[in-house]
Amino acid sequence: MSAAQFENKVWESLCNFVVPYWLVAVWLCTCIATEALAATSAQKPNIVIILADDLGYGDLGSFGHPTIKTPQLDQIATEGLKWTNFYVASPSCSASRAALMSGRLPARNGTAPTDPARWTFNTNSLGGLPPEEYTIAELLKDNGYATAAIGKWHLGHLPKFLPTNQGFDYYFGIPFSNDMAPTLYRSREVLPEHVDMFEHPQAKHWNVPLMRNEEIIQQPADQETITRQYTEEAVRFIKNNRSKPFFLYLAHNMPHVPVFASPAFRGKSLRGIYGDAVEELDWSVGQVIDALKKSGIAENTLVIFTSDNGPWMVMNQYGGSAGMLRGAKGTTWEGGMREPTIFWWPGKVKSEVVTEMGSTLDLLPTFAALIGASLPKDRVLDGYDLSAVLLKNAKGPRQVMFYYRFQEVVGIRHGRYKLHFKTSDPLSPSDAPVVHEPPLLFDLLVDPSEQYDVADQHPEIVNELIKIRDEHVASFTPPPSQLDLVTNN
């Protein structure tokens, strides 16, 4: 064998030995990259809901307030989806929150009020969101999520109704409204001599408990720093769970009366103490967003900001503003149920103003769609999947919104038109409502302030909306209200 032949034989042997290993290495790298890409694309998004209490449609800078400064919320409203027609299912706290959690109307899930004396769950309540309701937290926990509720619950304070028995791994907060368990008066009537409690609030005036899971850790809760405490807990939860999918429900007590702000924010807003509280909420949102970014998970996190109902107009300057919308908390005018709402999800949600209709009722089915989870088949849901609106800028599926006063449909919106059968006075929403015969009809695209009745111009639309209302009412019978279950002690 010549030297050249020997050299070729050696080279051939080396190639036979090396090439297969080289190919194996390429194959392994390709597999790893493919699996990593698949894992990334299949990664379930974190979900954060930030809920304000009694925040008005017009109380954020991005929604038109001239003096309250909300740069953090304005920024995510610019970067994400700013919804201008987003609704809650009730103009009162407990029923609204129950609908958000269950994706079902309060008249269907047993939390619709029946008595003006019992709008919400109170310290003497024996009821709450029924355990058989399937909550957002249960849906997500069943699909591998860590879950935490931080802040106001208001869906029953007895152990079986607390967040830890409704799908949440962890709870930190006040189990009902911050104005309950007053120390200076006992009846529901607030007399003139009690006004100072709201004008110059002190935490000691309300004996509300601060809880961790099912244990009271402070009573009365230090409401002067409650927004900061909730924020710190939320940031801690994000950092501790950044390596796995999580659901954070951050439900602030502010700016519900009595209005408090931490020392760093007190006296800073041109809007007074109410503005101070809203500006601290804005800071809180900024802290949450910053924690997501620093943890490297912002692009895999959907953040939703909204409110539970409209402003408490009865409280004068200590309540908020619905801006150009008519009405307030406790009413089915737009100001009672249309809320300032923002969806933020970097890299997934485009910057846009959304004029489609949406509702907190839609959150549960939307989350199910985003994570590929199945919805329960044993009950009627009142929500729609908004995922195509979020990710593809598609037309929204919601065309109808029902406005309930207690267990009665007193208004309905279909497309651009809204029909009122009964309306309430924002300054006395517990009084008997005004009955409208014929009903009032408003074109909300032209007249969002509900000033110009056009019923006589569109009798066919009036009849169509009455038919939709009648079919809805005939479709089910509301169960007994959990709000009627109280103790006399």
> Which CATH number is 169's domain given?
3.40.720.10
Predicted pLDDT of residue 124: 95
Sequence-separated (6 or more) residues with CB below 8 Å from residue 93: 53, 54, 119, 120, 154, 177, 308, 309
Predicted pLDDT of residue 116: 87
256 is catalytic: no
Alpha-carbon separation of residue 8 from 15, 23, 441 (angstroms): 10, 22, 93
198 falls within a domain: yes
- Compute the distance between CA of residue 483 and CA of residue 439 in angstroms, rounded to an integer: 29
Between 314 and 307, where is the model more confident? 307
- Compute the distance between CA of residue 236 and CA of residue 288 in angstroms, rounded to an integer: 10
- 379/436 same-domain check: no
pLDDT tens readout for residues 212-247: 999 999 999 999 999 999 999 999 999 999 999 999
What is the residue type of 279?
E
Residue identified by tokens 């800071």 is: 283
Flag whether pLDDT at 326 surpasses 90. yes
Predicted pLDDT of residue 199: 78
Number of structural domains (the chain) is 3
Residue identified by tokens 């299912």 is: 89
- 369/385 same-domain check: yes
Work out whether strand 400-405 and strand 352-354 pair parallel, antiparallel, or are unpaired. unpaired
257 falls within a domain: yes
Domain-terminating residue out of 333, 364, 398: 398
Q: Where are the beta strands (DSSP E) in 179-279?
A: 210-212, 215-218, 246-251
Work out whether strand 210-212 and strand 215-218 pair parallel, antiparallel, or are unpaired. antiparallel
pLDDT tens readout for residues 417-454: 999 999 999 999 989 999 999 999 999 999 999 999 99
pLDDT tens readout for residues 123-159: 999 999 999 999 999 999 999 999 999 999 999 999 9
- 281/214 same-domain check: yes
Predicted pLDDT of residue 188: 54
Cα angle for residues 211, 215, 219 (degrees, 5° grid): 55
- 339/407 same-domain check: no
Domain-terminating residue out of 364, 398, 432: 398
- Compute the distance between CA of residue 90 and CA of residue 94 in angstroms, rounded to an integer: 9
Predicted pLDDT of residue 117: 86
**Other CB atoms within 10 Å distance of the CB of residue 472:** 16
**pTM summary value:** 0.91
What is the residue type of 98?
A
Flag whether pLDDT at 30 surpasses 70. no
Domain-terminating residue out of 353, 377, 398: 398
Sequence-separated (6 or more) residues with CB below 8 Å from residue 279: 68, 69, 70, 261, 265, 268, 269
Work out whether strand 417-423 and strand 434-443 pair parallel, antiparallel, or are unpaired. antiparallel
Question: Are 274 and 320 a contacting pair, CB within 8 Å?
Answer: yes
- 303/193 same-domain check: yes
Predicted pLDDT of residue 194: 62
Work out whether strand 358-359 and strand 81-87 pair parallel, antiparallel, or are unpaired. parallel
296 falls within a domain: yes
- 219/355 same-domain check: yes
40 falls within a domain: no
Flag whether pLDDT at 303 surpasses 90. yes
Flag whether pLDDT at 467 surpasses 80. yes
Closest listed residue to residue 319, CA positions, set 170, 426, 465: 426
pLDDT tens readout for residues 148-201: 999 999 999 999 999 999 999 999 999 999 999 988 776 556 566 566 777 788
Q: What is the CATH number of the domain that holds 477?
A: 3.30.1120.10
Predicted pLDDT of residue 488: 77
Query: 93, 157, 256, 420: which one is catalytic?
Result: 93
Extract the tokens encoding 12. Answer: 């051939």
Question: Are 137 and 163 a contacting pair, CB within 8 Å?
Answer: yes
Predicted pLDDT of residue 38: 34
Work out whether strand 170-173 and strand 400-405 pair parallel, antiparallel, or are unpaired. unpaired
CA 186 and chain centroid, separation: 31
Q: Is 15 exposed, middle or buried (0-12, 13-18, 19+ CB in 10 A)?
A: exposed
450 falls within a domain: yes
Flag whether pLDDT at 355 surpasses 60. yes
194 is catalytic: no
Question: Are 62 and 78 a contacting pair, CB within 8 Å?
Answer: yes
Predicted pLDDT of residue 206: 93
- 309/370 same-domain check: yes
- Compute the distance between CA of residue 259 and CA of residue 251 in angstroms, rounded to an integer: 15
**Other CB atoms within 10 Å distance of the CB of residue 411:** 27
pLDDT tens readout for residues 366-423: 999 999 999 999 999 999 999 999 999 999 999 999 999 999 999 999 999 999 999 9
Return the DSSP state at 52: E
Mean pLDDT of 286-312: 98
Predicted pLDDT of residue 22: 41
Structural domain boundaries enclosing 454: 402-484
489 falls within a domain: no
Mean pLDDT for all residues in the chain: 91
- 238/304 same-domain check: yes
Question: Are 309 and 88 a contacting pair, CB within 8 Å?
Answer: yes
325 falls within a domain: yes
Residue identified by tokens 């439900």 is: 251
Burial 330-360 (b: 16+ CB within 10 A, else e): bbbbbbbbbbbbbbbbbebbeeeebebbbbb
39 falls within a domain: no
**1 confidence band (pLDDT: 50, 70, 90):** low
- 367/423 same-domain check: no
- 449/326 same-domain check: no
Flag whether pLDDT at 275 surpasses 60. yes
- 276/215 same-domain check: yes
- 337/445 same-domain check: no
> In the chain, what percentage of residues exceed pLDDT 90?
84
Query: 29, 31, 65, 154: which one is catalytic?
Result: 154
- Compute the distance between CA of residue 111 and CA of residue 99 in angstroms, rounded to an integer: 9
